[in-house]
Structures are given as structure tokens and as C-alpha cells.
Structure 1
Amino acid sequence: MAALDSTENAFPPLFDVGAVWAKLWRGRLTVLACIGAALALALLYLAVTKPTYTATASLLIDPRDARSTRFETVLPGIGADSAAVASQVFVIESRDLLMAVFENEGIERDPEFANGGLLSFLTRSGGLEKDVIFRRFERRVSVERAGLTYVIEVSFKSETAEKAARIANSIVERYRTGLAGDRESANSDVNARLADRIAALQANVSEADRAVGDFKVRHEILDPAAGGTLQSQIDQLTTQLIDARAGADQAKGRYDQATAAGASAAGLAMRPEIVSSTTIDRLRTDYNQRAAELANAEAIYQSRHPTIRRLRSELARTSTLMTMEAERITRELKAKYELSAETVAMLEAKLAALRGQSQAADAAEVELRRLKARAEAARSVLDDVLKRAEETAQMRGLQLSEAKVIGVAAPPVQPTWPTPLLLLPVSAALGLLAGCGLAVVGSPPDRQPDRAEPAEPDEAGRAALSRVEAVPTSLGRYALPGLAGAGAAARIRAMRRRFLQRGGEAFSQNTLKLVRRIIARLTEHPAPYTLLISAVRSAPEAKLAGAMIGIGLQQAGQNVLVVEFSGQPRPGELNAGVFINGASGLPTIVRAITGDAGPFVLDADLAGDFDFVLLLGPPLAERDFDAALFAKVDLMLFTLAADENAAEAAGLLRQRLAADGIARSVTLVIAAEEAETADAVTPLQGAAQ
């Protein structure tokens, strides 16, 4: 840290205002000449520069989408997204849009843009290339979004007010036309693609329907409405089988009854219950009549009477006929039973075959459903495409542009450049700055005898200088808060409260001034800087001065470490490490004074953490004070009590310190604050010698 020049109470200013003003006054003609030259150049520029007019048109990007129908548009609007609105600025500034305006307005043949200027005249070259002219035109276009609104301002600069307004409006109209054209183009493109797709979709639907029909025919899957499905046939056969089984069971019952009845008279009597037969009925009636006649004849005639023989012969013949009829009926019932059994067997075989076909048809039905689903999906897609094609066809001419012109560019009345009211004051200010700079730089340097290197003194001068340096510099007198008879810790706490409480600004400023004066006496080197703070005779004043300087350095943003030296430290203090002093609030360590330790050097692990190290040494008058211990300190501060004699203190310093120690020493007086000045700090008395 370089040593700083200091006055009695503060650092010197960064620059001497008086010296600078003196230089400016001496160079006032240069300043006035620069101002005049700047104004002359500005007037010349105003005379030769063509005026430029700026016309601005305003667009509103309306995020609301006006719908004339409920159809969904092919190309939706820009939307309310802020990024989408901001991107429209780049759309308007795009090369394609500006190139269209460039060609429509014939800018390539406009002398304002196509003229090569002085450079083309000197080089004897022809007209400019189209790309160069377009870049000139492009630089005249300015598109900006008005804050975070939906308003976009399109500006154009030209040498003619009417041309500026016309081209600005042309850019806006081209943008709006492009938006509408994009939507119509999107509709046309979609319609064309849909038309190409519809034919393919119709072919897919036809193919899918044909596949379903072929599959039904191939697997004999009939329409359920026609009643010819396998399930209906199975149901019909099941009904027929049930009926056939019932008829077979009935025929079997009758056959069994007829077999059980036999051909006896009793069996013949049971025949009508089994089956109805007119022949049996006539034979039974004839048999009964002949039996009655035989019984009457036996009652009248003898057994050998011809009538009885005749009747018996006729009765036997009738019985034989009845037996033959009974056997015939039994055979008929058996035949019916066998026929019914064959019918049941045939129906069961058919039903089994149909059930087998039904199982195969179930697997075919799965494939049929898949084919139907495919056909239905193809038909659904075709319907959607046809509907969308019809919607997009009807949307032509119904879509409105979301960009609305809210401000048409009008020919400006006043040019935007050059503006004399702006150019002339700015030129005068620039000339003033240039003139002041030239006056300060070109002025000869002021003489500074107090800062010049001193000449080599002669022997008498060196003797006088040694006598002067034998007296340490005095930093003045400081009245510190706290009661005069109180201990050092209590007075340090009172001083710390004065730093922090309201009304202590004067005390804080005086302390910071003292800190600046101390820093000004230091020679720059890597941190930390070591300061010895000791008393001439009274130790409490040294502690008070050390606390005041440490708190002042801490208020100035420096890291401060306090080292207290003690001849007989209390047990545990030497190994306690760094602790915060309860009175001053500063980091503190305790070190013992040993005669053979050599110059004090701070531990390496602590040196990098602090900017200043304050050594609170023993009083100068005590025998524990060892000048060799403090040989490497940057500055030694010795405090005097208010009642101590400064001359006696100076003599004691010359006895205990060498010449270089006295050169690195300063003194200051520490006094107690008087009661009537409890709210203020006593000002410094005396100036530094």
C-alpha cells in the first residue's frame, strides 16, 4: 500500500479543483476555439446533409380468432403467446417480404438508393448491384414491438416524406396480404392433398367390403336376417330332434304294450287302448256275437249238434283272424318304432355335424369381425376426410386476417434528421469537452515543491534534520467517552456504544480521520500491517487507543487482530487461540513477553486472515518494554495521558528507541470526555508536526 499524503483531518482530494480550474482558465482560448470549431462543423453538416423523414404505421396483432363458422381452420391464428407476437417482428423484417416490396416499388431504379454517391463518381463505376441497393433499402426499415403489447410499429426512412409513408404502408399491406395468402394457400394445399387421398381411401373401403363379402361366402356365413345361419339351423334341428325322440319314445311304448298284450282275448281287449283299428273292432264285435250265439245254442242243443259245431268253427276262425290282426298291428308298431329311432339317429348325426361346423364358424367369425372392423375404420377415415375436404372448401374467403392496421403511415411534416435543436447543443458540448481536455493536457505541470525529491543536504543540514526527526509526530488529542475514574473495559464499552448509537457521528468521523492519518504513514507491502500501540507511562490509555483504532479500522472494512502482550499471562490464555474481546468486540490473542524471542512475527496460519495487527505492548517506561521485540512493526503509536508532559515523553522515547524507531513513531493524547461535551468529541488540538 502506497503511503498517502494527508492533511490534519482527512485524506487529500483525488484531484485539485483549483489547479484544474487554473489550467482551464489559462487554456480558455483553446476551449473557445474547440467549441467554435464544433459548431462550425455542425452547421456545415446541417448545410450539406439532406433531411431524412420517418413515417410509421402501426399494426395490431389481435389474438382473438374471428369465426364465421364452427369449422376448424386449417391454419390457426398467431395466438396470444408473447413469443409468437414478438416473432412477427422478424417476419416483417424477413428478406422475402422486404424483397417483394423492393420489387413492387421499383426501389432498384430509385436514385435515392441506386446512386453510388461520391465513391462511384471517383471510381467511374456504373450502377450498384441489386444486393447492395437492397441492403440500403433494408437498413431504412425499422420494425419494433411496443413494449409487451400486441402493437407492432413499422417505420421507414426516406428523403421524401411521401415516399416514406408509401413504403411503410406497402410493407404493412404486404404483411397482411401474406397472412391472408398463407391461410388461403394452406386451404388449397389441404384440399389438393385431401382430394388425392379420397380416391385411395375409397379404394380401401371397397377392398375391405369385398374382403368381408368373400369371406362370408367362402365360409358360408349367411345373413342373420335371412334365418339361414348355423345357429338357426342348429336350433331347428334341436327342435326336430326333440320331437323325433318324443315320437320314438311313444312308438316304443306302444310296441312294448302290444308285445306285452299278446294275441289272447284279454290282449285283444287291450288293443283299443294301444292303437285304434276298425278291423279289430269288427272282429271283436263278430266274435262277441258268435260267442253269444254259441252260448245260446249250447243251452239248447247238445255239444255234437251241427249248429254248435258251426258256431264253434266260426268262433275259432274269428279268433284266428283277430290273432292275425293283432300280430299285424304289433309288426306295424315295431316298424313305426324303428322308423322313429332311425329318424332320431339321423337328426343326431346332422346336429353333431352342424355343431362341428359351428365351432369352425366361431374361428371364422373372429376373422370376420377383424375384417369388418378394418372396413369400418376405412369407412370412418373416409367419412372424416370427406367432411374435412368439404369444410376446407367452404372456408375459402371466410378467414379474416388477425393483423389490423390501427395507424396508417402519413407523410411526416418535420424531418427526423438532422435536427438543429439537438445537433448544435451536442456539438457545443463535445467541443467544450475536447477543449477542456486539450487545455488540461497541454498546460505545463504545476510546481509542487513539497512533493519534489529533496536535494542532498550538507553536514549542517543533516545535523538539523537529525534534531528535527528526534521529535516524534503528534496526532493530536482525543477525548474518549466514559467516566474518568472507570476501568479500561468500561470505557471501551462506552466508546463502542458511541460508535453504534445515534449522535455519535462526530466521534466516528474523527476516529476515521485518525485512521486515515495512520494509514498515510505506512509503506505499501503485502498484508498484514503491524502497528504497535503502547503507552509512555499509563497502560489504560494504550488499551483505549488500541480499541479506538481497531474499531475504526473495522468500520472501514478491514480485518483487525489485537495481540495483547503480558509478562505473566493467566493459565490457559496462551493456548486459547483467537477469541472475541467482550469489551471491544475485536478478535484477540494473548502472547507472553520473552527476552530471547527476537522480533515479533505473526503465525503463518493467522497472517493471511487479517489486514492489520495491533500489538498492545507494555508501557515505554517499564522494563518489560523491549524495542527489539517490535523492530519489524510498521508504525509505533505511544499514548500520553492528559496530565503527562510531552517534553519528558520525548526524552524517554529518545532514550529507549533508536533514530529509525523514532522515525516510525507517533504520539497522541488520550483524555476523558468532559461532562458538558457528552454528546460530542473534543476536536483535535494541535496539528501534526
Structure 2
Amino acid sequence: MVLAIAGAALLLALLYLAVTSPSYTATASILIDPRDSRAANFNDVLPGIGADSAAIASQVFVIESQDLLGAVFDKEGLQNDPEFSGKGLVSRVLSMFGAGRGPSPDAAFKRFQKAVSVDREGLTYVINVSFTSPSPDKAARIANAIVNRYRTGLAGERETANSDVNSLLNDRIKGLQKDVSDAERAVEDFKSEHEILGSADGGTLQSQLDQLTAQLITAQGDADQARDRYNQALAAGTSPAGLAKLAEILFSNSAVKLRDDYNQRAAELANLETMYGPRHPAIARLRSELDRMNRLMAAEAERIRQQLKASYDLAAQNVAKLQAKLEALRQQSTNSNIAQVQLRQLDSKAQAARTVLDDFLKRAQETSQMQGVQTSEARTISAASAPLQPTWPKPTLLLPVSAFLGLIAGCGIALALGPVRKPEDDPRSPREEVPQATQPKEPKKGGAPAMSRPLPANFGEYRLPGVAGGAAHSSIKALRKSLFQAGSDALSLGVLKLMRQILLRLSDHPKPFVLLVSSTRSNVDARLAGAMVGIGLQQAEQNVLVVEIGGQPHRAGYGPGLFIDGASGLRTVVCSPAVEKGAEFRDRNTLRGILAEAGNAFDFVLVIAPSLGENGWDREIFASADLMLFALSPSESASGTAALLEQHLGAGQIERSATLVIDSAQPAGAKAMPDVESGAGGLRRSSLARS
């Protein structure tokens, strides 16, 4: 069978090689260069992909995108290529009956898309683009076309980004120019409204104030000087000496000539008086001329004084005018200072608008100059070439693998079916666990032999230490001491194996698991087996509760409830069979009540039940168990246990039962005397051994 299945697998592989057309895969490699080359010292509108690993990995999905592959599919004219638009086997068969149609354009593109493979080379910046086709030349051509389309798309994205940004900048610049014009117009209107002059309009108010103040000081000096000259003219009088002084104050040729004539006539008069006396006609004539000269000098002096007074009045009027103008400018400066605050705000707004406009103009100039100089950061490092060998199918790989898989399948099927057995070798036939015992058979009606029944699982034979003539609790104490004593490795390993067998027979459900330990004849064996199982679970760090059925729930001097058994060291509770109690006592002291109160506080509940041979046992006790363990003596057989189970519980309960043989020093017919010992854990008791 193994050889036949292996040969069939190899034959199928050969048939597949014969009917399958070879496919070729061409691969082109591109490098995503994280270095961004710049033709000018401008910031790119769309920067490069970058050196981030996630950014490089995302380019794989960009190459596999439907837009990029769709552009290559249309450009290469593959929508009419029979490789993608041809009918499949099913379509060709259906077309023979007039029902088949060619694939839709979407289906043809899906075929093309499946032939494309894009992978990143580890954690590098290299991306491999592969295409599989029955034609090696077509595979290389399409792989290179995908790479070229991707590289062109990267450069085109930058060019498109530049164009879009340039258009947006130009649109925005128009609005910014209007904003700047409005802001500057608002500044000028505010200046005109508040009569704020600039340097181009004749100086600011402060410079005008300074100039007017200097003029006022000069005019004030001129006025003071004119006043002093006028006062000196008043003090000089009309005498020739005064007239001389007036001539010094205000130069006058008339005054100088009158003074000289007067002095000449005065000198002649003095000479004539000395020569002719006071009554001489010449003297009278000279005196008359002197009087005329005095009147002329007085008139000249008055004229000079009037001229000086007019100069003084004019200087005083000039000072008054300058003072009035200065006061008006000061008031205007005060009002202008208040308006300057608002003017500075308007000017700041205009300056900010000009700054933004300048930035936009500069950026628009940069983006316009970058048109046509954008480069792609992806470059081809290995162009795809037509492959010489097909990538599939590979006979050197397919034939050995098919032969190996055929051998594995043949071996598995052969092992599953197994060898042909004789009727007497049928594993379902009854067997004896112990050579001395025999399997009872029940005759069918009509004298036909009975069908063989299934047997409980066999958990092995255990030789336990015991005390000859002692009670059951003495044997349990010896068992516990032996398990915790060095040198009893064989017994400990046997108990560990028993724990594994028990766990493998349990189905998964919330705790606690209920294990029932019973026997067919002797309760002593059941107690020993239960103690061994309970101590083994306790050594496996499991929380165990032992429930003894058939004893008295409380004795004289002790109350009912949980106690530590002095022999096994296990937490124990005693309950009576449910059939012996009324309904009012069943709720708390029967097995069902104890399990309800225990809840999930324990991992395992170990129930020590009466033997199947006893009268008065309750069928409900066995119904709640996950696994029933029956302790047998060496003289008992598993088939006898199976017969009792079928008789008392039904044949369906045998599959959740197991047997283990207990061999101890306890005599089979001995009676264990009740024994009560006090200890640190509470009440210690032993049950009555039954034969």
C-alpha cells in the first residue's frame, strides 16, 4: 500500500509536469536613494521619500497599487493579450455548449496583477519588482515597464507638486498685493486726515518746531536790539552831541552834514563875536543860521528816533507772529502724537502685509525656477533580462517532494488501517486483567454467545506498604510516610504515573473535578486507593477535598463539618448516603449539598463511595463523578467489574471508569477496628474495613 500510494503520487507529479506550461520570472531591482540631490539651493516643494524604514516599505505598496499597474497594463496593450484575456479551461468547455464567455477587463487585470511580485530586499533600500509570464521576453519587458513607470511617477509627482504650488502662490499673491495696497492707502489717508507730514513733505512737525524756535530766538534778539537802539535814541536828545550819538546808532549822512555845518557856523560865530562884538550884522546872520541848523538837527533826530521805533515795532510784531506759530505747532504736535499711535499700528499692518507678499513672491520665483530640474530618488540598479530557466515547474524539486509526500501518506493510511487480524486477535474481545480470573459470558436467547463488552481503563497494579492486622488508617499512615520518605522512588514514580493517567481521562471544565473511588468487595482497598490518589494530588500542589460516604457525620464530642484526617493529612468531610436522610437533611450533608457548598474552592473532590456489592448505595453518587476508580484486589478481574457496572449503572458508564489493583499487607478478611485519634488538624478517624 505504501509503495502504491507513493507511485501514484509520483505519477501525478509526472502528469502535472507534462501538462503544465513553464513560467518565467524576470526581476528588476531599484534603489531608493535617501540622499536628495539638489540642482539649486532651494527648498523642494515635495521632499524626498526619506530614509525611514516604514517610508521605504510603503513604496512596495505604491508599486503594487492599482493605479500604477493599471497604467502599465493599458500602455503595454495587455488587455487584448491572450495570456490575460484568454479563456480558461472551464470557459472553453462551456463555450463548446455556447455558454462560455471571455473574461471581463477587470478579470484580465486581476490576472495581470497576480503575476506581479514586489518585495523589499531585507532592511535595505533595494526593491525587487518581478513579473511571471510564459514568455521570458514579455516577463522582462513588463518588469522594466513597471520600474520605469514608478520612476517616472516619482519625478512627475514633484513636477506636479511644483506646478500646483506655483499656481496656488500666484493666486494668493494677487490677494496679498491688494491687501498691501489697501494697507498703504489706509496709512496715507490717516496721515492726510491728521495732517501728519513726512520727511518728503518738508520735514516732520518736530523739525518745524525746531526751525520755528530758532527763528523766534533770532527775532527776539533783533527785537531786543531794536528796543535798545530806540531807547538810546530817546536818551540822546537833539543837541549836536546827541545828534552825533544818533548818527552812531543809525548811520545818516544828513545828520553828519548838519552836525558839521553847525560846528562850522558855531566856530565862525565865536570868531566874529571876538572880532566885532555881539551886535554886528554878520553875527546876527550867523546866529540865525545856527537856529535854523538846530531846527534841522532836531528834525533829523526825530526822524532817526521814528525810524528806530518803527524797526523796534516791526521786530516786536515778528516775535509775536513767531510765538503764535510756535504755539500752533506745539498744539498740532500734541494732537499728532496721539495720532501717531494709530499710525504706527496701520504702518505695522502694512509692513506685515509687505513682508508676507515678499515671501510669497520669493517662493513663487523659486518654484517657477525649479520646473524641469526635479530628479527621481529611485534609480534602476539591475534591469530585468529574459530568464533562461523557468521558475515553475521544477522537476528536480517536484518529483522528490511528491515521492516523499506519497510515502508519508502511504505510511499514514497503512498505519490507520492496520494489519488484517484474526478474530481471536480482535482487541474488542474480552480479556482477563489477571490470569486467574475468567470473563463471564451471558448467553443470548436462542443459545447464541453474547457479544463481548468493553472494559474499564487499566491504571496498573500498586504494591502499597501496610500493617499486618492493623486498621485501614494505620495502612494509610504507612502509605503517607512511605511517599514522603526517601528511598521510595518506585512508589512515587508509580503515583506520578497514576496522576498523569487520571488527568488524561478528564475533560476540561471549571473546577472542581469529582473523582469517585470505590471497589467491588472491600472498602479497605477503596480507602487505600483514595488515600494514594489524594496524597498524589496534594503533592502535585492541588487543593483536594475528601468526602467519605457511609460514615457518621458527627460523633460524640465533635461537631459536623470539615476536618483534617489524621491518617492521610487530607481535608475530609463525612456524609451519609442520601437514601438514609430526609429531605430536610439532604440539602447540606449529602454529596450534592457538599459539592454545592464547596463551589470552586477546591481543585479536586475525592469521593470515597461504598462498594458496588453493598446494599443501600445511591446511584446518584456515581452520576456526579468525572471519573470512577475501582480498587481491585489481585484476585479480582476487570471483566467482573465491568459486569457489575453494567448491572448497576449501565454499560454506557464503563467508558468513564478505570481500575487499579491494590496489593498491600492488609489481610483480605480482616476487620479494621474504629480508631479515633486527636491531632493538630482535628478529628482523625478510620472507617470499618469490609471483606
Say whether residues 1:406 and 2:381 are aligned partners.
yes
Tell me by how many angstroms 1:110 deviates. Answer: 2.6
1:651 counterpart SS class = coil
Asked if the contact 1:562/1:588 (under 8 Å) is kept, the reply is yes
Say whether residues 1:512 and 2:496 are aligned partners.
yes
Report which structure shows greater RCO (CA 8 Å, sep ≥6): 1
- Cα 1:201–1:517, aligned 2, differ >3 Å: closer, same or farther? closer
The one-letter code matched in structure 2 to 1:136 is R
Say whether residues 1:553 and 2:534 are aligned partners.
no
2:19 aligned to 35, 48, 63, which one?
48
Aligned-residue CA RMSD (Å): 6.1
Distance 2:508 2:666 in 1: 30
1:157 equivalent in structure 2: 132
2:427 equivalent in structure 1: 447
Tell me by how many angstroms 1:423 deviates. Answer: 3.0
2:105 equivalent in structure 1: 130
2:666 equivalent in structure 1: 646
Tell me by how many angstroms 1:532 deviates. Answer: 9.5
| Structure 1, 35-44 or 318-327: larger mean CA deviation | 318-327
Asked if the contact 1:258/1:274 (under 8 Å) is kept, the reply is no
Say whether residues 1:75 and 2:46 are aligned partners.
yes
Tell me by how many angstroms 1:429 deviates. Answer: 4.8
- Size of the aligned set, in residue pairs, is 577
Deviations 1:440-467 (A, max 9, x none): 6667994323489975699xxxxxxxxx
2:512 equivalent in structure 1: 527
Distance 2:278 2:571 in 1: 172
The one-letter code matched in structure 1 to 2:309 is K
Distance 2:411 2:120 in 1: 42
Tell me by how many angstroms 1:188 deviates. Answer: 4.5
Deviations 1:268-294 (A, max 9, x none): 499559935666777778888999999
2:28 equivalent in structure 1: 57
2:453 equivalent in structure 1: none
Tell me by how many angstroms 1:51 deviates. Answer: 1.2
Distance 1:34 1:348 in 2: 129
1:99 equivalent in structure 2: 70
Distance 2:369 2:318 in 1: 70
Deviations 1:619-671 (A, max 9, x none): xxxxxxxx99xx97988999xxxxx9521x74215999xxxxxxx9999xxxx
Deviations 1:489-512 (A, max 9, x none): 9x98997696xxxx9986753441
Distance 1:492 1:269 in 2: 161
1:224 aligned to 189, 199, 204, which one?
199
Distance 1:308 1:603 in 2: 177
1:340 equivalent in structure 2: 315
2:218 equivalent in structure 1: 243
1:170 counterpart SS class = helix
The one-letter code matched in structure 1 to 2:324 is A
2:209 counterpart SS class = helix
Tell me by how many angstroms 1:34 deviates. Answer: 3.4
2:213 counterpart SS class = helix
1:183 equivalent in structure 2: 158
Q: How does 1:107-506 map to 2 (within 5 A)?
A: 107-122=78-93, 123=95, 124=98, 125=100, 127-190=102-165, 224=199, 227-256=202-231, 261=235, 263=237, 268=242, 275-276=249-250, 327-358=302-333, 384-385=359-360, 387-432=362-407, 435=410, 446-450=426-430, 475-477=462-464
1:338 counterpart SS class = helix
Asked if the contact 1:268/1:322 (under 8 Å) is kept, the reply is no
Tell me by how many angstroms 1:172 deviates. Answer: 1.3
1:608 aligned to 600, 607, 615, which one?
600
Deviations 1:375-405 (A, max 9, x none): 6666655655554455445445543321122
Distance 2:505 2:50 in 1: 71
When the two structures are superposed, what TM-score results if normalisation uses the length of structure 1?
0.63
Distance 1:355 1:366 in 2: 18
Distance 2:507 2:136 in 1: 69
Say whether residues 1:35 and 2:27 are aligned partners.
no
Distance 1:146 1:132 in 2: 30
1:87 counterpart SS class = helix
- Cα 1:397–1:335, aligned 2, differ >3 Å: closer, same or farther? closer
The one-letter code matched in structure 1 to 2:148 is E
Counting aligned pairs with the same residue, the percent is 52
Asked if the contact 1:528/1:608 (under 8 Å) is kept, the reply is no
The one-letter code matched in structure 2 to 1:113 is F
Distance 2:330 2:570 in 1: 105
Distance 1:175 1:523 in 2: 59
| Structure 1, 294-303 or 205-214: larger mean CA deviation | 294-303
Distance 2:109 2:190 in 1: 69
